Structure 1
């Protein structure tokens, strides 16, 4: 089982990893085990154990489970899972997840792929798998896991933000992962579109007007009353907080919603696509 790298530019992950690494090393040394002996006891190689203890690798949850048992820590090592839960994912993903957690309303337009909050695991894996140059296998799995973790907000028992998605028709016809993967993705859209806090709308390709031709973007209204935009393009993603720019995105999204099919019409449109696939 592989583990995930802690990026050297990620200060937050680095700080957490230094603390966890120090504790793991202290527990191992207190048990009188070398790195090689400890690795053999938990089913990992000496090199990987060394990387974890130097803060270069983020251990998976099962690593901590086995370490806790092998070192007789009685749950003290397992408790560190909580500290690692967030930094396990790339910093960009953590930043987006925090914004989403603070939002009372999330508005998203996408003419490239199905929005990440709506994706099935298979579809997400196909999207990440199409990237060039390709991700390493561990990194691809990390990205998929991070994307699925963000989706908890949709049916959260503690918070229930209003979610509005406008998908260009092209994203519903582009069969990432093949026909069956796309069928299950369309079925998920139908399911989510029936939730009380979720609106899914379709922007038909036949529309003469489309205020979203400049590409995907998001508008998030936060619980402190502020509004931020979020834009992701080739190799770059950024939050937009400058009021005039946020206002432009806000106006643009309102226009897009008015140009798209209504939520009811959109679900009927998706049902028809599903029947044709």
Structure 2
């Protein structure tokens, strides 16, 4: 992926962990206790046999709906729920964001609207540092390095195969803020312009003056999973909400579709970015 900062530390597969493998072992034990194959369990939990196998091998984070369906299908008397509570992810990601990061890593498509900071998937290393150092309490250098590695590592999504379709809507005010100073902003704008050249990436700018705005409720993300389910995510201070209810996700989809028509067009958004860059 084009960027002026150092090459990110990335992984081609979601990171495994002891807790993920432990959950997978518990799931496998209950599946075998029920005398079911992975192919037989798959329709009972509404996921593919490949996904079931990946969870059992500790390579995939088990979504909450998967855990609940497996609980009922395997009569696991709460053991799977208990094991899921101890599943951990790599350092550097907030606890409330970990499951969304897992879904993001294998998403077919992802749509992001942001009105506070540039989305993490589009941040340069310097911009990410500026964000982290400006939000109290001050992190340690070790925490900053862990968070940057995790944030930049997520950007493998841009060049992953099979590719993901990525759409971003960013408030113009976020870029005008100049977080981190002129040098950081110049590098960031260069990076965003480069990203618009990727065939699977669309970036639109929501103008500073827009009397019709469907995003008044704040930032949001929606994605399509490998199983072609749609999920939503909303994040606040120290909290994150995964949205799986189809009706609620449909509302987010309607809002995002409206915002795409209200934001500056794709081509004109590139020109906006270039004008901002030229003014620095």
TM (norm. structure 1) is 0.68
Query: Are 1:112 and 2:91 an aligned pair?
Result: no
Distance 1:189 1:97 in 2: 21
> CA, structure 1 residues 16+163, in 2 after alignment: closer, same or farther (shift >3 Å)?
closer
Distance 2:141 2:100 in 1: 23
> CA, structure 1 residues 15+244, in 2 after alignment: closer, same or farther (shift >3 Å)?
closer
2:137 to 128, 133, 146: 133
Provide structure 2 residue ranges, at least 5 long, that are not aligned to the other structure. Answer: 1-15, 23-88
Instruction: Find the counterpart in structure 1 of residue 204 from structure 2.
Output: 201
1:163 to 163, 166, 172: 166
Instruction: Find the counterpart in structure 1 of residue 180 from structure 2.
Output: 177
Structure scoring higher RCO (CA < 8 A, sep ≥ 6) equals 2
Query: Are 1:227 and 2:207 an aligned pair?
Result: no
Whether the 8 Å CA contact 2:172–2:208 is kept in 1: the answer is: yes
Give deviations 1:204-225, integer Å, cap 9, x for gaps: 0111111112211101011211
Which stretches of structure 1, 4 residues or more, deviate above 3 A after TM superposition?
A: 12-18, 88-94
Provide structure 1 residue ranges, at least 5 long, that are not aligned to the other structure. Answer: 1-11, 19-85
1:146 to 144, 150, 173: 150
Count of residue correspondences: 199
Look at both structures and tell me which one has the larger radius of gyration over its CA atoms.
Answer: 1
TM (norm. structure 2) is 0.67
Instruction: Find the counterpart in structure 2 of residue 31 from structure 1.
Output: none
Query: Are 1:100 and 2:100 an aligned pair?
Result: no
Instruction: Give the superposed CA RMSD.
Output: 2.1
Give deviations 1:149-205, integer Å, cap 9, x for gaps: 00011112x221000000000111111111010010001100001110000000001
SS at 1:224 equivalent: coil
How much does 1:140 deviate?
1.7
How much does 1:97 deviate?
2.5
